[in-house]
Amino acid sequence: MAEPVRSRLRKLLPWAFGLFVAGIVLVLTIAYSGIYSVAASAGHPDWLDWFFALGKRRSVIVNSMTIDAPVLDLAELVPLGAAHFQGGCATCHRTPGQALNPVYDQMLPPPPDLKTHAPMWTREQLFWIVRHGIQFTGMPAWSGQDRDDEVWAVVAFLEVLPLMEAGDYRQYARGHSEAQNYSIREIVSEGKTKINLTACNRCHDTDDAPPMSPYVPRIGGQNKAYLKRALREYHSDLRQSGFMEPIAAELDDEHINLLADYYASLTVSLGNPARNPSTPKLEPGRQLAEQGDRSRKIPACLSCHGANKRPDYPRLDGQSEQYLRQQLQLLQRGGRTKTPHGAIMTTIAKRLTEQQAEAAAVFFASQPSAEQVGHKAGEGLRQ
């Protein structure tokens, strides 16, 4: 650089520094003086709105660039996404056919109607928004830590939401739960009937229907001690799930005991999810379940998940392939290590190859659930 330019720059330096400090002092003075109103009622000046909108859009676009969206099976995911939307998002974002509660409409910015807003984003961008939330707006992040796998069900739902009529939506959001028609006396004292967050039937199995989605586990006929433990673990943030934690947070010990009793004694009269893979396809999984794999130091799954095992270990028979695969992948990622039981299974899951996890999921999904074995007068599959 030429000498005169350099010396001029050197002279400018103190001025620049002075300006910088003055700027900081100005900002602090404005903040301290209280001149700027943070009132939501005041709204944002247009330039600030524009600035925030730009920042949000660019941030979502840039941050979601590295995300690889999987193929989404809408039929499997939408019911779960809808049920969660009802419990976790509808308060702010309204449901189809319903006006937004004026309380939430007064947020700044107000939560948008996603029927019109969801199509503005790509699948990856929707994922990123629902997974991470949006600063300065009140849009929360996903409530299950490191449970990115769960978010896709909600994304699938958001993609079909624009096409949904109020009736379709209600059907999904309600699942198997029944709308009671309160009499006017009941309405007066109980309030209008609504779909309750803690209505398990919205997602889980009933005595005559499978879960609403293969990503929701069967809990009817599951071991009582395991059900209790699982609900307590969701309740106290020891087991992560964005779907179950908000629900379990509302349950106290008494509810948990009642629910575990109820589901443990629920007899499942329904057959298996309609799939019946051919036997050769089942063979590797059966091998693993009954014998394990000595070369990889994997014990037989049935030595812990078979008949007459500890009641605080889960049964796997009749659980869907999707759920089993998802949980095995979660265990392999170390997503269930916060509890002693989870630590046992994590050790074993980490020894499984991808193909072995797949094979085990296929095998256990093909097995009739424990109840049905019992019904057939004990002529069980195993000794």
Nearer to ligand HEC, 14 or 102 (CB): 102
Nearer to other proteins, 16 or 344 (CB): 344
Phi, psi of 206 (to 5 degrees): -120, -175
CB of 209 to ligand HEC, least distance (A): 14
Give the angle subtended at the CA of 302 by the CAs of 300 and 303, to the nearest 5°.
70
Nearer to ligand HEC, 195 or 270 (CB): 195
User: How far is the first Cα of the chain from the last one, in angstroms, to the nearest whole number?
Assistant: 88
Nearer to other proteins, 309 or 333 (CB): 309
Q: Residue 81: name the closest of 144, 146, 158, 149 by CA.
A: 158
Nearer to other proteins, 292 or 318 (CB): 292
Residues 156-195 close enough to bind ligand HEC by CB under 6 A:
none
Total residues in contact with ligand HEC, by rule CB under 6 A: 66
Contact flag: residue 246 with ligand HEC (CB under 6 A): no
Nearer to other proteins, 149 or 290 (CB): 290
Q: Which of 101, 106, 269, 347 binds other proteins (CB under 8 A)?
A: 347
Nearer to other proteins, 102 or 340 (CB): 340
Residues 312-341 close enough to bind other proteins by CB under 8 A:
312-313, 340-341
Nearer to ligand HEC, 233 or 373 (CB): 233
Residues 260-299 close enough to bind other proteins by CB under 8 A:
292, 294, 297-299
When CB distances are held under 5 to 8 angstroms depending on the partner's kind, the choice from ligand HEC, other proteins, none that residue 214 binds is none
Residues 6+ apart with CB under 8 A from 23: none
Q: Residue 242: name the closest of 383, 135, 144 by CA.
A: 144
CB of 110 to ligand HEC, least distance (A): 7
Q: Residue 313: name the closest of 337, 349, 342 by CA.
A: 342
CB of 302 to other proteins, least distance (A): 8
When CB distances are held under 5 to 8 angstroms depending on the partner's kind, the choice from other proteins, ligand HEC, none that residue 309 binds is other proteins
When CB distances are held under 5 to 8 angstroms depending on the partner's kind, the choice from ligand HEC, other proteins, none that residue 117 binds is ligand HEC
Binding residues for other proteins, per CB under 8 A? 292, 294, 297-300, 303-304, 308-310, 312-313, 340-341, 343-344, 347-348
Binding residues for ligand HEC, per CB under 6 A? 56, 80, 83-84, 87-89, 91-93, 107, 109, 111-112, 114, 117-118, 120, 126, 129-130, 134, 137-140, 154, 198, 200, 202-204, 215-217, 219, 227, 230-231, 241, 243-244, 247, 259, 288, 298-299, 301, 303-305, 313-314, 316, 324, 327-328, 336, 339, 341-342, 344-345, 348, 352, 360
